Amino acid sequence: MIRRHPVEILLWIALATLPLWLGPLGGYTALGTKILIYGIAALALNLVLGFTGGLSFGHAAYFGLGAYGAGMTLKYLVPSTPLAIVVGTLAGGLAATLLGPLVMRRRGIYFAMITIAIGQLFYFIAVRWNNVTGGEDGLAGFRRQPLHFGSFVFDVQNEIKYYYLVLFCFVIAVVIMRVLLASPLGHTWVAIRENRRRALFLGLRTDLYVWAAFAISGTITALAGTLNAMLFNFTSPQDLHWILSGNFVIMIVMGGMRKFWGPLVGVTIFVVAQDYLSSLTDNWMSLIGLLFVLIVLLFPKGILGLIAPRRREVSTPRAPGIQQADAVLEEDGSPLRDSTKSLREATK
């Protein structure tokens, strides 16, 4: 196990010891916390983008709903950090689950446009509902609270201790996504990404599987939103805006959307570059855009897609169901023969 995944083991060691070595390198703990939070959101969005094949520009809606859910819980209900995380995660997850049927039958640009519309709907609600959300000024006046375990108190108001709380949530999110992608559900998502029409021909309800990916992804993204709100003890409508969704997509593409850890690599590059360049110039977004263009041109599969070792292709026998489907589609007179043949050639 150690020989097979040495890089991943080094990654976990680096994350566990980050507060010790980030400071001497010129960083600060809150920067590492932000990378983990955005990493959770990007990894979650990649379930839809990289593994199911749906381009969503509205995932900031669930990120922002999680943030507002946590902030309102702390400010208006009970000053409890665990309750704020649960309420915010459920708020964003419920929204993604209920709105999933609006997007699950759409593909390509139509999928992306509907997700943008949904995200902007929540954005304008947050802007206009001044009495509750604070409007354009954002929601403030709340603060993350210490965790009590009997007589033991874990004071997450301390930046280092809050980092480890976020790392704990990051581990939970990664384990959930790893288990899902290794399950038949995860393999079905990849099959839909590779050839949706063939999956339909084999009898799979692809719309329901896309709905499941969208709901799970939105829920985990909402978890990231709750942690982000408590990191800054503040949230605003910008956490719901489609620009943040676009940033998540940029992070995923930069790191490599076909690799599990690709989004985290992209998040690290984006957040560190943003933090450094914004201290040098007000036009840091232009430099980020130039960096993104260079990475896309030079590394079309993303950073991790380039440096990851290529696996040796092994010819495996097709399952009986797929063999039968191919035989039917190759028969003369089959209305799906030509389109399916071209799809097979495109995915080779």
Contact 161, 155 (CB under 8 A): yes
Q: Kindly indicate the confidence band of residue 104, based on its pLDDT and cuts at 50, 70 and 90.
A: confident
Q: Kindly indicate the confidence band of residue 143, based on its pLDDT and cuts at 50, 70 and 90.
A: very high
What average pLDDT does the segment 119-138 reach? 92
Encode pLDDT of 26-85 as tens digits: 889 999 999 999 999 999 999 999 999 999 999 999 999 999 999 999 999 999 999 999
Predicted local confidence at residue 116, as pLDDT: 92
**Residues above pLDDT 90, as percent of the chain:** 62
The structural domains of the chain, with segments of one domain joined by +, span 14-312, 323-348
SS3 149: strand
Phi, psi of 153 (to 5 degrees): -120, 125
What average pLDDT does the segment 174-198 reach? 94
What average pLDDT does the segment 84-102 reach? 95
Q: Show the tokens assigned to 211.
A: 């709905």
Q: Show the tokens assigned to 84.
A: 């704020």
Q: What is the rounded distance in angstroms from the CA atom of residue 14 to the CA atom of residue 315?
A: 37
What average pLDDT does the segment 169-175 reach? 97
Predicted local confidence at residue 335, as pLDDT: 41
Q: What is the rounded distance in angstroms from the CA atom of residue 16 to the CA atom of residue 163?
A: 10
C-alpha closest to that of 55 among 203, 217, 219:
217
Predicted local confidence at residue 221, as pLDDT: 97
CATH annotation of 14-312:
1.10.3470
Residue 335, CB-side half-sphere exposure with 13 Å CA sphere: 2
Encode pLDDT of 279-325 as tens digits: 888 888 888 888 888 888 888 888 887 765 554 433 444 444 444 44
Encode pLDDT of 262-273 as tens digits: 999 999 999 999
Identify the helix (H) or strand (E) that includes residue 152: strand 152-154
